Structure 1
């Protein structure tokens, strides 16, 4: 079992400065001030209140200090309305999660990509993110008795085969090629089912995630690492960065408690960034050295505080973090 404590994560890669230039060295300035990168927020964290009061939520987010947000749906607004609300408080959205399979009337990756591209340009989005795997048609998304939707996805992810993951990789390549013609980049965001060992996996591709990385075209498909879900799967985010330099361009800065038991079914014990088991003083510089340039705070429920208070705690930690 991988030791996911701060000490264990550091030990897993040895001295960070050896693997990634500058990692582990004392920093004169906080990481984000030194790199000149903004601290972003994945709006999913505040989704309910954003849908109820978009303008007020964005004002609060900007007042905390965030400069960028990553969208997860349009919060019941049009792209033009969203853009106006962001512009009013000085926020931008370089990245957006877009539903994979059409539902609810919003654009999707399996729908009209020209419409999606037009909306992205209105919003100022440069990167479209596939937020979860494409669910094969043979699976029923209807929850069984007592199942939450996350449990449904965990069950389906656990039953997916190497062929299913290959289909997802080919889907990413095809959509990435189309979006590239409109000046947009496509990325894949992980949860933790991707890291389950496959009974039918072939040598060199033992997990769904390995298949996605191996089978996608680096010129067409990027990856957004959700560090919290990587750790929840019992995996080492440092090893992923080291093994695939240049493939990761964005990161969800998500922390989890040490009580999280490694699993592949959408389970974690979440907490504010800096309050959990991930060593951000090592991971942020390692991610930067490997090519990550967009960092978005994200937290899963349940929350110990209000959601807005929690993202404020995470922002304060990151703004002062010397790494």
Structure 2
């Protein structure tokens, strides 16, 4: 399943509206999208999905505190099966009890999500791979603390930026790897150096081979400097060929 994180097209959404962007994505062959801030966009997103025969199997939303209930309700309203917290910032990972704090959030959310039939996860960045816990990256150590219905939406590019081995990390995440966030770029660089999936130096073919085909592949070009929509289409075309 190939999807697109709508944050990639946030400028286009601001200009043309969420429904208009979803219509345009449908016209170039997308059947799935991953919205952000699901609690605030579900009402606008739902009719656009129905109109285009599309789904939102994965969504991003706030899992913290009182925001959790609204995120779960909205995720269920659009038919999502996986709800992701977009990021736990550096101050979570750079403290001795950081992994425990993150696991508390995720496990609480996972328990609350059971009646909805939804699993929860979060999108990794580089801090959780640079920070070490007992000789292992914090992201890897976190897996030992998570319930079976809590996991990670794994980003190989952020992992590369952190200097960690991508395939070793995939192996360590095991069954807690619930989705892939895919972007590309140089092996050594900055997040702002992103390019379309397949145009950079990350061995994404090896990543795809290492992760079961049932795991969603989500194009996510956070800070790409070229035209985002063109890069999204180029990314989808590469993934279609790679997964054929």
Q: What TM-score, normalized to structure 1?
A: 0.69
Is residue 179 of structure 2 the alignment partner of residue 250 of structure 1?
yes
- Deviations 1:255-301, CA, capped at 9 Å, x for gaps: 1223416xxxxx45211111111122221121117xx5111111122
Is residue 139 of structure 2 the alignment partner of residue 209 of structure 1?
yes
User: Which structure features the higher share of helix residues?
Assistant: 2
- Deviations 1:158-180, CA, capped at 9 Å, x for gaps: 7x212122111122111111111
Q: CA deviation at 1:191?
A: 0.5
Q: CA deviation at 1:72?
A: 0.9
Is residue 242 of structure 2 the alignment partner of residue 279 of structure 1?
no
Q: CA deviation at 1:252?
A: 0.6
Does the 8 Å CA contact 1:50/1:57 hold for their aligned counterparts?
yes
Looking at structure 1, the residues matched to 153 and 243 of structure 2 have their Cα atoms a distance apart, in angstroms, of: 23
Aligned CA distance change for structure 1 residues 112 and 297 (closer, same or farther; 3 Å) = closer
Question: Hey, which bits of structure 1, 4+ residues long, moved more than 6 A?
Answer: none
Q: What TM-score, normalized to structure 2?
A: 0.90
Does the 8 Å CA contact 2:140/2:173 hold for their aligned counterparts?
no
Q: CA deviation at 1:81?
A: 2.6
Does the 8 Å CA contact 2:154/2:177 hold for their aligned counterparts?
yes
Q: Which residue of 1 aligns with 2:70?
A: 115
Q: Which residue of 2 aligns with 1:310?
A: 231
Which of 191, 215, 219 is 2:125 aligned to?
A: 191
Q: Which residue of 2 aligns with 1:222?
A: 151
Q: CA deviation at 1:229?
A: 0.7
Count residues with an aligned counterpart. Answer: 243
Looking at structure 2, the residues matched to 251 and 76 of structure 1 have their Cα atoms a distance apart, in angstroms, of: 24
Looking at structure 2, the residues matched to 113 and 311 of structure 1 have their Cα atoms a distance apart, in angstroms, of: 30
Structure 2: state its 5+ residue gaps: none
RMSD: 2.2
Is residue 7 of structure 2 the alignment partner of residue 50 of structure 1?
no
- Deviations 1:145-197, CA, capped at 9 Å, x for gaps: xxxxxxxx55x467x21212211112211111111132111112100000123
Looking at structure 1, the residues matched to 39 and 197 of structure 2 have their Cα atoms a distance apart, in angstroms, of: 25
Aligned CA distance change for structure 1 residues 43 and 236 (closer, same or farther; 3 Å) = same
Q: Is the radius of gyration larger for structure 1 or structure 2? A: 1
